[in-house]
Amino acid sequence: MTQYRMVRLPEDLCVEAEKWLTGRFENLETMVCFLVREMIREDANKLDQAEEQLIQQRLRELGYI
């Protein structure tokens, strides 16, 4: 079972977001969940890329690459 938290957003921001999401998302909550998930996914990908670069650098220093 999913638990939920309440998030407070400025009214003017909600109004503008609701105008923008028409036809794209069911409602404001769906849009916010999507955006937060995407941000988390992008950060995870950035970390993976940074780790890969670090490993490649270490392998170069050791003469393996």
**Is 6 part of any domain?**
no
Q: What is the pLDDT of residues 20-65, one digit of tens each?
A: 888 889 999 999 999 999 988 887 777 778 788 888 888 888 887 7
CB 14, CB 28: distance < 8 Å: yes
Pairwise CA distance, residues 61 & 12, whole Å: 53
Pairwise CA distance, residues 32 & 36, whole Å: 6
Tokens standing for residue 58:
């270490």
**Is 32 part of any domain?**
yes
**pLDDT over 80 (residue 13):** yes
Domain that holds residue 34: 11-61
Contacts for 29 with CB less than 8 Å, ≥ 6 apart:
none
- Work out how many domains the chain is built from and give that number: 1
Pairwise CA distance, residues 13 & 46, whole Å: 28
